[in-house]
Each structure stands twice: as C-alpha cells, then as structure tokens.
Amino acid sequence: MSNLASQIPLPPPEYRHNVGAIDPKRYENPSGDLIYPTIAPHYYRKFFDFGCGCGRVARQLALQKVQPEAYLGIDLHAGMIQWCQENITPHVPQFSFLHHDVFYIGWNKESPNKVLPFPVDTQDFTLVNAISVFTHLEQDSAVFYLAEVNRILAEDGIFHATWFLFDKTDFPMMQDFQNALYINIPDPVNAVIFDKAWMVNEAQKNNLKIIAIEPPIVRGGQWVLTMARPSHPSPAKMIPSANTTSGKSASWVKRLRLKLRGHQ
C-alpha cells in the first residue's frame, strides 16, 4: 500500500453505502495508473467532479501517479463534503470540496434551490467528471447542468459522465418535450433514464460530441460517455444498441428503493 493510501482513510461504511460503492477496492488505485485509461494524462490537470459523493474518485485520483494541479468536488450531501474536507484535503491540499446546496428529498430537503451554477470560472477545467449524477437529475436540471458543463469546460477539455439511456421511439405516448423516464414518484431522481437521441442533441447544443462510448455491463445499466468539443480530432460516435443481457440494478438505486419504502 502506498504511503498516501495508508494515510487517506476510507469513507465510513454509511457514506460508501450512500454512493453505492461499499467495496474498499473501488476507492483504491494500487498501480497509480490513470483512473480512466482512455483519457490522456494532460486532461487531468484541472479536474471538476460533479456529484463527488464521499470522495471515491478523489481518493483514486489522489493515488494516481499523474497528479492534477487542482481538483474540485461538489455534492449536495453536506456531511459527505465535510468528511472529504476533513479527511482528504489535509493529505492532498490541491484537492478541495464544496457543498452544492440544491434540493434533494433524501439528503438536502431544506434547500430552496432546484439548481445552482457551478461555483467556478468559465472554461477553467480540462476534465469535467460526473459519475452516476446525470442518472439522478430531472430533465430540466440536466439541461441546466449540461449548459454549466459547456460553460466551465476548457476549449480543449473532456467531459466524462455516465447515463441511463432509452430509445423514445419505443414509447409513442411520449410528447416532444418529454424525454426522461422516472422510476419513483416520491423521489423522481431515484433513477432517471434519458432518451438517447435527446441527450445527444442536448450535448450538441452545448458544443459537445461523443468521442468514446463504454456500453453498460447489464442491459439498462449506465453508459459511460466521453465527450469533447467539435474541434477535437476524434470523430463523433453514434451510440449503438446495447448488446447486453439483463441483470440487477445499481446498488445506489436499490438502496434508495429500500429507504423510500417508508414514503410509499
């Protein structure tokens, strides 16, 4: 175990449970390799982590040989942010964390804000990351935050995010303005599935094209999409149909389902 790995504690089980990643291995980076092997080292220079949770990605990145000049993680869960500030920043001072004070029925229900701008300057980040976050945003919030990604991403930056996607042509009852499926009435952002064509179009409106695609491991699971500016040399990629078998849902979704039983 590296020196830093032994110094930065693992988040407590409750917080690891919150983000659906209990296994300590998901917080480690024993080889020090790039945490996203398909993203070249120079993109990690200024790293913005939307929905950073309890610092899972931050901890892995802190253990990466190629270090960012600056990392900022934001999340609506005040307790997890405080934990990251107290337990990660002291070991890697270029890593900072801020509470993003937006409403969520589970963890931030006093907030009057549906959305808030990212608390950073325009075109300031070379890598904007959002793992399992656009999978928990209502359609209008997703539109807002895609515009924010466009605002803060450097001209030569990369946007790396995960998505639940479906094909709206299979749902003839959906109107033009309806492009998201919600699985839970008391907590609409429990899991949100966007129409594939709508999402690609919204990305294009925000000067983003898809340059790399990792299909879900199980049918209906998360797609990992890497996007860049239209000037990026890689050609735009089309999202194929997922050629996967059915399986279980993500543990974060399962956890919320259990927690929300009391509301139903």
Give the single-character DSSP code of 67: -
User: Contact between 11 and ligand SAM (CB under 6 A)?
Assistant: no
Select from 2-10, 36-44, 125-133, 234-242 the region that touches ligand SAM (CB under 6 A): 125-133
Q: HEC states along 93-144?
A: CCEEEEECCCCECCCECCCCCCCCCCCCCCCCEEEEEECCCHHHCCHHHHHH
Residue 82 beta carbon to ligand SAM: minimum distance, rounded to whole angstroms: 13
Q: Which is nearer to ligand SAM, 33 or 167 (CB)?
A: 33
Size of site (CB under 6 A) for ligand SAM: 21
Is there a contact between 125 and 38 (Cβ–Cβ < 8 Å)?
no
User: Contact between 51 and ligand SAM (CB under 6 A)?
Assistant: yes
Q: Which amino acid is at 162?
A: T
Cα dihedral value 135, 141, 144, 149, nearest 10: -20
User: Contact between 125 and ligand SAM (CB under 6 A)?
Assistant: no
Tell me which residue has tokens 């995010």.
Answer: 161
Cα–Cα dist 207/198, whole Å? 14
Residue from 75, 148, 187, 195 that binds ligand SAM (CB under 6 A)? 75
User: Contact between 136 and ligand SAM (CB under 6 A)?
Assistant: yes
User: Contact between 61 and ligand SAM (CB under 6 A)?
Assistant: no
User: Contact between 252 and ligand SAM (CB under 6 A)?
Assistant: yes
Select from 17-25, 178-186, 230-238, 255-263 the region that touches ligand SAM (CB under 6 A): 17-25
Residue from 5, 8, 21, 62 that binds ligand SAM (CB under 6 A)? 21
User: Contact between 77 and ligand SAM (CB under 6 A)?
Assistant: yes
Is there a contact between 81 and 97 (Cβ–Cβ < 8 Å)?
yes
Residue from 57, 61, 62, 161 that binds ligand SAM (CB under 6 A)? 57
The closest of 121, 82, 118, 122 to 100, measured between CA atoms, is 118
Q: Which is nearer to ligand SAM, 76 or 229 (CB)?
A: 76
Q: HEC states along 16-52?
A: HHHCCCCCHHHHCCCCCCCCCCCCCHHHHHEEEEECC
In angstroms, how far is the first alpha carbon of the chain from the final one?
45
User: Contact between 203 and ligand SAM (CB under 6 A)?
Assistant: no
User: Contact between 133 and ligand SAM (CB under 6 A)?
Assistant: yes
Enumerate binding residues for ligand SAM (CB under 6 A): 19-21, 51-53, 56-57, 74-77, 100, 102, 107, 131-133, 136-137, 252
